[in-house]
Structure 1
């Protein structure tokens, strides 16, 4: 009887995934039917999905389900995310109140050639995200800049917000200090630098094509932008954040220091007083409240889905279909993709899928570096596209645009998915390895 129970848990339950289906039908369905994706707020849709999650497994007590929900909502990854949101909201609000956003945008308009302003912003986002190792932190810090550029140039805000999200995911893929790199390398037992090297040759073409598309799309629109006045000292908070990121500073220290530094400069330049500084911090954190509540609800729902066997069902279904080495690679890619679509967290996805991916790799003799790279890329490409993921929710929460409205401009995650599939179909790393072996054999003979 005990073995049977364990097998049932391994197989999992497809019904446990119903809350995700309900959310997608409500959130995306209402938008497609009405043409307005603001009709169904993401929070409302997920609250309804949570109610559905509580109805599953009726034999279990409501108290037990609530305990599981609260544990999911209170997961350390969720709490860390909430603190980042609050700090990011405060930093963005203080920076805006003391004039950092206007000065940074005007300085960019004055220094950069009009045709390179927006593509240049994309490169800056990639660079900062790679330095900071956090896509959410990068999006929080730079979305206000995108808003300012849109106001100054007339370029569609959805395009610029999508540009920030895409650039943040580029850096997240290539950063040596990102959670995803650490998790992917750790679960596969390989060096982080090797995983990043594997990623680089897939990420680079996706990023280059995205850069070209952005350049073409915005070539004429930025030409009419006029630079306003700016003060160099007010740009310093953003420079300080960048320098801190390059130095490997902790994201919490980085954002908290940015808040204090921006406030100090604001007071020094008479742009604000101490009470306006405190008010700006409070306003920024208050602006993140709905997003924080949404993240808590999502975490709770995912906790119930996992407890009810939804994740186990996905794992069992995929592993049962693998028949070859190529199939094993696509199985790992599908594993990472589905779990990220269900959990909306690429770090949790890698941690969840990593041990099973390692077992699959050992069975089919796959390179651990390749597995780590695949886990990171497929989790990240979906994470950068799903409208209920932390990255897009953070960006649209700050910018006040529709999460679905920016999807059509998410060039990088789309091309990353395409090139990631190509890298599996034509394993260039394996070909290179074979060529190396042939050379060694010819030397021996």
Structure 2
């Protein structure tokens, strides 16, 4: 089928033609007809499947149907990070470029003044991170009283980042009569609770197997000692002449240290994480997209919203403490029907994290040895080290809990 089958307004069809959108993706084909009917929706789909257009096109269509309310905030998209909020806002402006509808993007780490000015001038669609959205509600610079369409984008990450308190406070400002949509790459008990509380008889759409890794991503795991990961990474990138590589670490310090070491190896590398200013993050991402920077090292939070169509390689320098994050990480590649590659470097101390990912994906993941980088088996856990390894694992699990409960804007 083609987008013309949805009978969108001329302004939307003009934008779709300009963007060379001809045939909808599976998530768009399944979601758009339901959303045009006003149904609440829970959709499970991997990143890169076109989910932003799946929810935004029908919202734009419905806003255009009531032209007398232009300039009033009637649609709200809540996103977990600045980068994702910016990405959704940019896409929305592209889809609505001929409609006259105004979009405001609200996120922390940026001057609140220009955001207030944009809101005062009148907006139709608000896309925001929870913390900054709450700031505007408290200051009275934004009213959600007329919102008819609410979207939780990447809902699992919103909850994992500890924003449930902010979400509850935001919900008090919203009318009960509204259309509510929830998009998520993974579904867990927290997300299910949110669905029960705030969605009304939602239709369930699952484009991919729940909690599955991206279907078009080739996953490779290398067993390697922790202190040789950087060396192996440089070898893989250099030998294979990979020109655009996104590397994930668990911590900000690790991201900075790794970027510094990769630069010493002759690989143009930048790091992005929550401690970087928004300007620095935008500049790093721009240089990465343009090819000025060959390697971008990122933490999970900072990488949310990175949308690079032709990104071929993702490397997990460290496995994530939360297994669902693995799905999000490798979803940065293999987008829009293209094939991607995800390489994970697994040390002995990370075996239990690999097992967590196996349970989530219901798939056996076996690390291979690369000649010259074989792990030192003398470092493998032995019976007389069980207590030590158990205590280490307990400490690491505490980090998981701390990660889930931490709050970031």
User: Is TM more than 0.5 here?
Assistant: no
Q: Which has the larger radius of gyration?
A: 1
Q: TM-score, normalised by structure 2?
A: 0.29
Query: Whose strand proportion is higher, 1 or 2?
Result: 2
Compute the TM-score of the two structures, normalised by the length of structure 1.
0.27
Question: Does 1 or 2 have the higher relative contact order (CA < 8 Å, sep 6+)?
Answer: 1
